Amino acid sequence: MKIKTLPLISGAILLLSFTLTSCLKDEVDVKKIHYTGEEFAVLQNYLNLPGERESYQVTLPDHMRDMGMAVPQINDARATLGRVLFYDKQLSRNNAVSCASCHHQELAFSDDKAKSEGFDGELTLRNSLALASVANFESSYGGGDSFFGQRSFFFWDERAHTIAEQSTLTIQDDIEMGMDLDVLAAKLVDVPYYPILFQKAFGDEVITKDRVLQAVQEFVNSFVSTNSRFDKGMSVHRNAFSDFNNFSPAENLGKTLFISNCSSCHSSDMSRVVEAIANNGLDMEYDDPGVASITYNEWDEGKFKVPFLRNIALTAPYMHDGRFATLRDVVEHYNSGVKNHPNLDFRLKNTSGLNQPKRLNLNEEEKDALVAFLGTLTDNQFIDDRRFADPFK
Ligand code: HEC
Ligand code: HEC
């Protein structure tokens, strides 16, 4: 019996290895014909793009797929174009800033300032948001209602529903980039590398504002951060509730504290936030009304987007106005500083029915443990990934 099946098996192996080599060969051919020699020479005058097509395909680890997250489908040529646009200062009116001026890869695509500087030196109204997991928003919500009945959109007040919409607002914003999108499309026609990159991305050289936005969206959607030490623990344990064997005792204690005090909004598995927007008790009176600046509803005053905490150790300062310099300050806010605003979220009130803000009464060791746990969410592979790096020479 064994002997009889042997030829079959070896036949199958032969067939498999044959298919594999022919697949490999196809791939090499596709890569080779990505740019003609002439096109590549033009690109090389300005850009450090690889001659071969870079893959932006996203593979989610099992534990993230277990959570029902959809995998964003990325078009490689469009993401490559989006990468160039993201780093190109010509997207601003006076060629002074690019998206990357306020979204630095080494800071998980956030900025280290409380408010960022726009094209004309004016400060943005809010703290730059990290972009390391925006596709998680997009793919898990798709603009509709989530499993938890909450939708989640873009910006601190969630005024944009897609990255294309967000980018339209950002590029045309009088403080941020100050550029009319139609003027931008006309400006890019004269830049030698764009006709080539648009041709690869869309099949012809025509540059339109919609294509610009689509390409930027494609690139930003490919920012999926899944390689933190937290993810390593999740991939072994499949849920966040047991102690992780790759964590220190302090990190495991921090994880437990996080699950009991923070995960009801920020989530325990870091796949998507549980609550889309909330008032977390920063002030009794808000200078910036947050979501209420869009809805004009007093119930929305002081409500802001519940941010993703992936790579949070890299994205100081914290909150919509960058008021806290360190994670320790953030933990102290939740420990002892939550204000009793009328819209304060019920999860941050104590359960004794007195309608007062909750005090966590953490000791020093526990505060350090929470900070240590937040540090396990850093994904160094993501911030070192050359596919997301500045392509300009
Ligand atoms: C001048 C600084 C600046 C520039 C330039 C800039 N951004 Fe931003 N970005 C910000 C700030 C500040 C916020 C938060 C603004 C708010 O919520 O009101 C933000 C928010 C975002 C968000 C929302 C993230 C979330 O989780 O909701 C995305 C996506 C984004 N920016 C992408 C881009 C892209 C793409 C570009 C280039 C087309 C760009 N940004 C250019 C400062 C900037
Ligand atoms: C009621 C929901 C809720 C709970 C519970 C909650 N948060 Fe938040 N968190 C928010 C909201 C909303 C913001 C943004 C507020 C703002 O900027 O105005 C925020 C912001 C943060 C930030 C800053 C993020 C950034 O990008 O600047 C950190 C860090 C953070 N929370 C950690 C925690 C920790 C740690 C706990 C538990 C001790 C916790 N949160 C509990 C809602 C919540």
**pLDDT, tens digit, 9 for 90 and up, residues 310-365:** 999 999 999 999 999 999 999 999 999 999 999 999 999 998 767 899 999 999 99
pLDDT at residue 247, as a whole number: 98
**Separation of CA 86 and ligand 1 centre (Å):** 11
Q: By C-alpha distance, which of 31, 391, 388 is closest to 193? A: 391
Q: Is 280 in the pocket of ligand 2 (CB under 6 A)?
A: yes
What residue's CA is closest to ligand 2, atom 28? 330
**Separation of CA 129 and ligand 1 centre (Å):** 6
| Sign, Cα dihedral of 315, 322, 95, 91 | positive
Q: Apex CA 86: angle with CA 134 and CA 101, to 5°?
A: 90
Q: Is 213 in the pocket of ligand 1 (CB under 6 A)?
A: no
Considering every ligand atom shown, identify the ligand nearest to the alpha carbon of residue 347 and give its number: 2
| Sign, Cα dihedral of 74, 76, 81, 85 | positive
pLDDT at residue 144, as a whole number: 39
Q: In which residue ranges of the chain is pLDDT below 50? A: 1-32, 138-150
Q: By C-alpha distance, which of 378, 340, 336, 380 is closest to 356? A: 340
Q: Is 116 in the pocket of ligand 1 (CB under 6 A)?
A: yes
pLDDT at residue 211, as a whole number: 95
Q: Is the peptide bond before 7 cis (omega within 30 degrees of 0)?
A: no
Q: By C-alpha distance, which of 317, 315, 320 is closest to 303? A: 320
**Separation of CA 170 and ligand 1 centre (Å):** 6
